[in-house]
Amino acid sequence: MAGLAESGSNPDVDLLYDINGLAKAAPPWLDHLMEFVGEFGLLFALLGMLVWCWWGVRRRGGEEAAPAVAALVWAPLAAGVAVLVNVPIRGFVERRRPFLDHEGLEVLVDGKDDYSFVSDHATLCMALAVGLFLVNRRLGLVGLVLGLLGGFIRVYMGVHYPTDVVGGLALGTSVALLLSPLAMALLTPLMRAVERSPRGGWLVSARPRVSRGRVASGDARRGAAGADERDLAA
């Protein structure tokens, strides 16, 4: 990977200059906007979409509420796990930031002195987006587009190579998908227990489920009350 950073005639570096060149040609206000969106905006947007999806799931309630909330809980957990997995990857590859090895880049963010491969931002965004997609296809597709946009902006900002972003997108997707069965097996029973609890049930469902036994006893009481009313009428 170090060879890629040192070479100025490979597709990775060429694409870096092409995308980052857009920042040079853009007005300052647009660069400031892209800086905010690339650093914080997209992550906040994806987290907001997760909260919005959770609110809809709990309002609908039903049998699928607990598994859906479990999947939504897994999304940020998957992002955290993916970033932890990236720690040894970064230490092994030790790829320097592109602006340290290539002149003439428009760097929109200062203080980026850690290793470049793979992109933490791309990893986080894609893990959140994939986790959201597992629950809600429409919101998930929007999230995936935002994740790809986030990767593009990291290159635009001059702080990552395109392959850093591709690696982050792949890492976030892999962790969110491959560990999902295990996560759901652990989180779904936990969410069902929360749903049944008197204090925390609202976190999973705004419409508490009624057990069959309670329904049957309720029907029996209503039937007995009806019989009593008929006896009185007679």
What is the mean pLDDT of each successive set of 10 residues along the chain, which is 234 residues long? Answer: 50 90 89 90 94 88 86 94 94 89 86 86 94 91 94 92 94 95 93 84 69 45 47 41
Judge contact between 133 and 141, C-beta under 8 A: yes
pLDDT, tens digit, 9 for 90 and up, residues 137-148 = 999 999 999 999
Tokens of 224: 């007995």
Give the single-character DSSP code of 37.
I
Q: What is the mean pLDDT of the chain?
A: 83
Radius of gyration of the chain (CA): 25
Q: Write down the pTM of the prediction.
A: 0.80
pLDDT, tens digit, 9 for 90 and up, residues 60-93 = 878 888 899 999 999 999 999 999 999 999 989 8
**What structural domains does the chain harbor?**
15-233 (1.20.144)
| Amino acid letter, residue 162 | P
- Work out the burial of residue 88: count CB atoms within 10 Å of its CB; fewer than 13 is exposed, 13-18 middle, 19 or more buried: exposed
